[in-house]
Chains A and B, each alone.
Chain A
Amino acid sequence: MKILYFAWLRQRTGTSAETIELPADVHTVAELMEHIGQRHPAFAEAVAAKGIVRCAVNQRHVDRDHPVANGDEVAFFPPVTGG
């Protein structure tokens, strides 16, 4: 599974992209976020601050109960500020 990070989440995790093997007990975005928080403590801190981490699965905005599977492209980022 490919994981992407943007903006200050990219800076805090110290990585813009990484490939991980999805653990068998991770089925949703919320569970994936918990798993990634164990790899990157700074990510867990950002998640703890409610609502500031958004997610896309296969380049679509999704909520945290959205399913994830190996082969997905998952991106984490702060609320967007374009325009």
Chain B
Amino acid sequence: MAVRVQAEPFDVGRELARLTAGNTGIGGVASFTGLVREFAGGRRLTSMTLEHYPGMTELELARVEAEALARWPLDASLIVHRYGKMLPGEPIVLVATASAHRHAALESCAFLIDWLKTRATFWKFEEGEGGGLWVEAKEADDEATRRWHLATGGELV
């Protein structure tokens, strides 16, 4: 169970190996890695910079992780999210969950990435042709969060 916010890139293979090391009760690991896309809104990006709210970001990721742990029987979980300047192709975020069985791992992994997209205090600034632009939030992300609430009868906050 861990949350990390860092400027440095990360190695997905190494992170997943470390996540499951020493726990042979784990039957499966699900992971999602978000990457910087070269094309956004029809233009080519040269870089992306993520601003965040130091302190709250870590707290919010920990809250999202705690929510997943309350809903699914997980043996291990990890959220790594970068901030600062990144180039196309570089990893931005890694979410990984491990459980005895695949459903808990797959569902909780999808839940974590959906929830952190609407709650974790990050803001993307895309630089490329025509200058820099702040990325606008997608209603589809809010809708994904709403779906998780409805699925569990939870309250929308």
Contacts and interface: CB of A to CB of B under 8 A. Distances in A.
Interface of A: 4, 6-8, 10, 56, 59-61, 75, 77-83
Interface of B: 34, 50-53, 55-56, 59-60, 81, 92-93, 113, 116-125, 134-137, 141, 157
B-side binding surface: helix, strand, loop or mixed? mixed
Contacts of A7: 51, 123, 125, 134
A78 B137 contact: yes
Contact of B51 (A6, A60, A83): A6
A83 B53 contact: no
A6 B50 CA distance: 11
Contacts of A83: 34, 81, 92-93, 113, 116-117, 120, 122, 141
Contact of B56 (A8, A56, A78): A56
Nearest to B112: A83
Contacts of B157: 61
Contacts of B117: 80-83
The 3 closest A-B pairs by CB, nearest first: A82-B122, A79-B137, A83-B117
B137 A80 contact: yes
A78 B134 contact: yes
A77 B124 CA distance: 12
